[in-house]
Amino acid sequence: MDTNKAADSGKRGRGVLVIYTGGTIGMVHQDSSNPLSPLVPGAWEELEAEFPQLKNFEFPVEGYQWKRPIDSSNIVPQDWIDIAQVIQDNYKKYQGFVILHGTDTMAYTTAALSFLLESLTKPVIVTGSQLPIAELRSDAAQNLITSIMMAAPESTSIPLIPEVCLFFRDKLYRGNRVRKISSSGYSGFDSPNYSILGEAGEKIEINEKVINRVKTGLTEDDFYVHRSLDPNVASLEIFPGIQPNILKAIFDIEELKGVVLKTYGAGNTPTYPQFLEAIGYGVDKGKIIIDVTQCNRGMVEIGLYEASAGLLDKGVVSGLDMTPEAALTKMGVLLGQGYNANDVRNLMQINQRGEQSMSIYNVEFKDGKAELVFKYPPTKVSGDVDREKINLANVRVQGVTLLESKEGEISLSLFLNLPSANEKTSENVPQFIGSRSQKWKKGDKLSLIFDATTATKRVFDPGRPVIISVISRKDSPVVWERLTFFIYESV
């Protein structure tokens, strides 16, 4: 690896390190004398020669040629760790970093880096171009110049942006929120579910309200890099007619640890038994399955429609509004840190770097039986909930049946943090979650959903365990397989 320094005579302060990995921005013709010869990644020196403006900044700009420049289609997870390590090795020398990268896998790289870089206090701006910098109509110069300026808060009037970002055309995006939307247009990327962080017109404007702020007390010494990312994860798109035996064959891959399931709409999939059985087969084999939507905009809401309720029953985890790229790389980084499958399922639902609009915290209880009253033991919710940010909450009771009847009505009432609750407890108390009644016939396994938002906002205490009381309003014993309490917190 070579570091090539731009002329910095008379320049003061810490500069910006430009890490050149390859990609279209530095492409050159394989035969320099033949403009029709194939484009291949050039060296940093060639890119620098085409861009003399690097010497015009009032602060030092240095170039770092990372390994051998490659087409981004050949990027692998180890490359993300290597790029992160370059930043680690040079962290105290520079005020910010710019990474030149090909556009094909740029969204994966920006997402991965956002999770690999811990306690980041400096800008890391990833950019590239749709045309090589040597082309007359190239978009490379504007992308590179603006990215370097955004990465130099000590030397410019631009506010500090302490996160991994992607800059393209004239917009700055959060790195784990972007998707590539065009293979040729200059506006090649978009951030469908999150506001842009900044815009470059006549002036560079930064929207400081939506930027991740540096945590109080963090310094350069707190920064570190996660050096392990488990590559044994996959992305799978649901399509009409997908065969359950193919799903099972994928889940039978021993090395596979997790799957990002790209589903329809708000998280929907087929509901026929063979499909859901195949999903359950994967979960039972210990695979982590995360549900994200195929749509560019919107959020997965598992359980909102019948077409997604079966996934929740089988143990699939909501990916909320994460991009598929963010979900895949986040899972790989979490697995690389050594968390077990259950921990990863919980952490995938909790915001880490601004990659999702809400966090989901939950507590899960196994089998229950209520002849009249059933109380679960006090249990902590999986994470630190901020009560002021609770957006909604619900309780889902799965696999509900009657024991001593061929048919009848199931009627349940739920209370939160009221250990004394019984069949005579008034529904007017603040701890009352709600009641549900539903016809039942032999062989049915019902799923009952209770809106627990009001009760949770009133009586939930983040510092104390949760107590759920289940009251049966009928004489016949009611049994169920699982009860899960979900809390949604706005980020």
% of the chain beyond a pLDDT of 70: 95
- 399 and 289 within one domain: no
Domain boundary, last residue among 331, 356, 381: 356
Average pLDDT over residues 12-16: 85
Q: How many domains does the chain have?
A: 3
What pLDDT does 7 receive?
43
What pLDDT does 26 receive?
79
- 426 and 384 within one domain: yes
What pLDDT does 6 receive?
44
Q: Is the pLDDT of residue 427 over 90?
A: yes
d(CA 55, CA 125): 19
CATH number, domain with residue 339: 3.40.50.40
Domain boundary, last residue among 356, 388, 421: 356
| 3-state helix vs strand vs coil in the chain, percent to 5 | 25, 30, 45
Catalytic residues: 24
- 238 and 174 within one domain: no
CATH number, domain with residue 462: 2.60.120
Q: Is the pLDDT of residue 308 over 70?
A: no
Q: Using alpha carbons only, how large is the chain's radius of gyration in Å?
A: 26
Q: Is the pLDDT of residue 233 over 80?
A: yes
pLDDT: which is higher, 474 or 19: 19
What pLDDT does 304 receive?
59
What confidence tier does 10 reach under pLDDT thresholds 50, 70, 90? low
Q: Is the pLDDT of residue 134 over 80?
A: no
Q: Are 327 and 333 in contact (CB under 8 A)?
A: no
What pLDDT does 312 receive?
85
pLDDT: which is higher, 71 or 405: 71
What pLDDT does 305 receive?
58
- 472 and 333 within one domain: no
* Six token digits for residue 167: 């800059």
Q: Is the pLDDT of residue 293 over 60?
A: yes
- Phi/psi region, residue 70 (left: phi>0; alpha: psi -120 to 50; beta: rest), is beta
- 96 and 50 within one domain: yes
3-class state of residue 220 by DSSP: helix
What pLDDT does 1 receive?
45
Q: Are 469 and 397 in contact (CB under 8 A)?
A: no
What confidence tier does 67 reach under pLDDT thresholds 50, 70, 90? confident
Q: Is the pLDDT of residue 4 over 70?
A: no
What pLDDT does 133 receive?
75
What confidence tier does 444 reach under pLDDT thresholds 50, 70, 90? confident
- 326 and 219 within one domain: no
Average pLDDT over residues 480-489: 93
What pLDDT does 3 receive?
52
- 346 and 363 within one domain: no
Q: Is the pLDDT of residue 2 over 60?
A: no
CATH number, domain with residue 140: 3.40.50.1170
Average pLDDT over residues 316-334: 97
Domain boundary, last residue among 191, 225, 259: 225
What pLDDT does 49 receive?
81
Mean pLDDT of the chain: 90
Place of tokens 């033949």: 34
What pLDDT does 132 receive?
79
- 470 and 387 within one domain: yes
- 386 and 329 within one domain: no
Q: What does each C-alpha distance from 64 to 99, 117, 167 come to in angstroms?
A: 9, 19, 19
Q: What does each C-alpha distance from 273 to 280, 334, 366 come to in angstroms?
A: 10, 32, 23
Q: Is the pLDDT of residue 140 over 90?
A: no
pLDDT: which is higher, 69 or 134: 69
The stretches of 124-230 forming alpha helices (DSSP H) are 140-150
% of the chain beyond a pLDDT of 90: 68
Segments forming the whole domain that contains residue 291: 230-356
Tens of pLDDT, residue by residue over 25-55, are: 877 777 766 776 777 777 888 788 878 888 8
- 311 and 236 within one domain: yes
- 118 and 186 within one domain: yes
| pTM score, whole prediction | 0.92
- 253 and 165 within one domain: no
CA angle 454, 458, 461 (to 5 degrees): 125
